[in-house]
A and B are shown apart, each in its own frame.
Chain A
């Protein structure tokens, strides 16, 4: 029965068609695969955009109900079209560049941030056979490709010619570098259990989700992921009450939209990574794999949103303390204990 829901069959079918096309045109399979890659990128981008739209709507609704209000209600049924209206507004807006801005950097920054988040998506297995590119070092790739985002944020902060932006950019760089360490270390426990860096193998190794064996690591991962995505209680780079909007203070229109998009894509990527490594990814009974994948990712995303609308913000130095004095040592201890148990068993 699950067969008809198996999205990977569509991929296989498309690939077969492309190969047939290449055969028919007498060109090599290389071109067919190139075309296939392009199609995959388009599909991924569309997926990305729709995920962000759903996420933004969900966040606004959840926030609304948590705050004793309704959230968007006017545009469409219960405000479902609000996000689309906002997107149209952002696209149509005139984009201004401040006089003091460093123009090339200022223009490039949003795309650097977005692309680094977007590229991480291609290694994520959404279903048993549904992964854009299967890498045997998928986990390392995911972590590594997310890192250049910091450079984009620094570029934005520096090039805007605004002191709030500068402070926001600097804070962001410090924060993201600090939290990447516990983030990676927390994932290592799971890697040791599965003995693989391949996300596919990682998922298949989880007969019982790794969160059962690695609760501490999951906890560290969750906190670091919130910090990585610059969200409350770790949203000091954009701290509204202090820095107005942090590194994107001067951005508007479509460039702002890209920062916005990047924030949510990063959120999705990290949640999906958490779901894959700790919650068993696409594995689950009854429903098709990609459904489980989305449900588990959604659960982590909900926790993100929940955090944001509940907690106050930490101060920059407290944030560093938490990372270096608590989470990082804890992650090391976790690895040590995991290693000892693995050796002894």
Chain B
């Protein structure tokens, strides 16, 4: 700010007071930007005049890397897109490969994918719940949800030897069958987890301060959501009942009984409620999958060097953040000719400038938390 050239009585002439919009770079290192995201905020006091996300800090060129690797080699890399729900990336990629080659996946493998996928959705939502609490200033939910998440990660450790980057799906099936004691362990966990959403409700959802911080904040209208291709819990929070697991039941989702959770308000609180309810539904799906788990092969017969016929395909799954898609082009060789990834977080981030228009600084993090995007997926 420049010094005032001549002194003016600013008390009686408030319009003479020189005010200025300040630019605040939020991130790439900031406690609540959920990864290396930079948000260029223009502030008028506590109010946000404009917000411009700046992405690309963890760009690794994953789409290009696919062209230099064989189809099988690429699976483990997909884990690193949305590392909080890695199974969906692998699953979606494998689904695309299977569509290219017309492979029928054994039913047991589909069930294992569903079980691991829904466990992943649970763990991802748990991280989000903790982070959301943290964003509005409540520290304790984080430690609670991480306790439960730890149990899920240990289950994954048992299943595939990894806690986060699983490398579990294979083209045509999954890498390993269930280890001994796995089913009991998951059942024990589900039994324990049953009452946890109520605990979170008591701690956060019914808290007057939390409600005041999230109700009517960052309202995402249906038009805005559709125009920016927002999917997943964010879209369902705006009252659109759209869930690939119901609308286009891939894998064996048609065999389970679960509800698509929607809220009509479209604000941060609605998105929050949708996700908490989704955790309950995920637990239900896992329970049913364990009950109905068929015996049989865990992988289809696929030749070691996977060479799909010439063609192109688009596969999509409902990940914990929305619709995850892989577009693959095959030229008949052992390497993809082109790979393009559709990530749900990008749509979530792209509505941010609209949602952040004229909110207060404190709401910025609350809205960011409620949209739940993940940066490595956006940057790829």
Contact = CB atoms under 8 A, between A and B. Distances in A.
Interface of A: 63, 66-69, 163-164, 167, 171, 232-233, 235-236, 239-244, 309-318
A239 B364 CA distance: 12
B362 A316 contact: yes
B31 A313 contact: no
Interface centre among B24, B140, B207 (most CB of A within 10 A): B140
Given A241-B135, A241-B365, A310-B203, 6 more contacts: A163-B22, A167-B24, A242-B365, A309-B140, A312-B210, A313-B137
B77 interface: no
B32 interface: yes
Contacts of A316: 46, 360-362
Contacts of A164: 24
A316 B43 CA distance: 15
Given A242-B362, A312-B138, A233 B209 contact: yes
Interface in B99-157: 133-140, 143-144, 147
A309 to B, nearest CB: 5
A68 B144 contact: yes
Interface string B311-350: 0000000000000000000000000000000000000000
B176 interface: no
Nearest to A236: B362
B30 interface: yes
B360 A314 contact: no
A311 B360 CA distance: 20
Given A241-B31, A313-B136, A67 B209 contact: no
Interface of B: 22, 24, 30-32, 43, 46, 133-140, 143-144, 147, 203-204, 207, 209-210, 212-213, 360-365
A241 B140 contact: no
B31 A315 contact: no
A48 B139 CA distance: 28
23 contacts: A67-B143, A67-B144, A68-B147, A163-B24, A167-B43, A167-B46, A233-B209, A240-B31, A240-B32, A241-B135, A244-B31, A310-B138, A311-B207, A312-B136, A312-B137, A312-B138, A313-B136, A313-B138, A314-B212, A315-B212, A315-B360, A316-B46, A317-B46
A163 B40 CA distance: 13
Contact of A239 (B22, B207, B362): B362
Nearest to B368: A241
Contacts of A239: 137, 362
A317 B46 CA distance: 9
Contacts of B362: 236, 239, 242, 313, 315-316
B143 A233 contact: no
B200 to A, nearest CB: 13
Contacts of A241: 31-32, 134-137, 365
Contacts of B22: 163
Interface centre among A67, A236, A244 (most CB of B within 10 A): A67
Interface centre among B135, B204, B361, B364 (most CB of A within 10 A): B361
Interface centre among B134, B137, B360 (most CB of A within 10 A): B137
A135 B137 CA distance: 40
B95 to A, nearest CB: 37
B143 A315 contact: no
Majority DSSP secondary structure for residues of B touching A: helix
Contacts of B31: 240-241, 244
A30 B204 CA distance: 60
Given A67-B140, A312-B204, A317 B360 contact: yes
A233 B24 contact: no
Closest 10 CB pairs of A and B: A313-B137, A67-B143, A312-B138, A241-B32, A312-B136, A315-B362, A312-B137, A312-B210, A312-B209, A241-B365
B137 A233 contact: yes
Interface centre among A66, A167, A313 (most CB of B within 10 A): A313
Contacts of A68: 143-144, 147
B342 to A, nearest CB: 30
Contacts of B212: 314-315, 318
B140 A310 contact: yes
A241 B373 CA distance: 16
Contact of A315 (B43, B134, B363): B363
Given A163-B22, A239-B362, A314 B213 contact: yes
A66 B140 contact: yes
A242 B364 contact: yes
A63 B143 CA distance: 11
Contacts of A314: 209, 212-213
A42 to B, nearest CB: 36
A241 B138 CA distance: 10
A181 to B, nearest CB: 21
A236 B136 CA distance: 10
Nearest to A243: B361
Nearest to A64: B143
Given A163-B24, A312-B213, A67 B46 contact: no
Nearest to B139: A309
Interface centre among A68, A242, A309 (most CB of B within 10 A): A242
Given A68-B147, A239-B362, A315 B213 contact: yes
A318 B137 CA distance: 14
Contact of A313 (B143, B209, B361): B209
A243 B361 CA distance: 9
A235 B139 CA distance: 12
Given A241-B32, A242-B361, A242-B365, A312 B144 contact: no
A230 to B, nearest CB: 12
Contact of A69 (B24, B137, B143): B143
Nearest to A321: B212
Contacts of B139: 63, 67, 232, 309
A63 B207 CA distance: 19
A239 B212 CA distance: 17
Contact of A235 (B43, B133, B137): B137
B27 to A, nearest CB: 10
Given A67-B139, A241-B135, A241-B365, A312 B32 contact: no
Contacts of B147: 68
Nearest to B142: A67
Nearest to B359: A315
Nearest to A313: B137
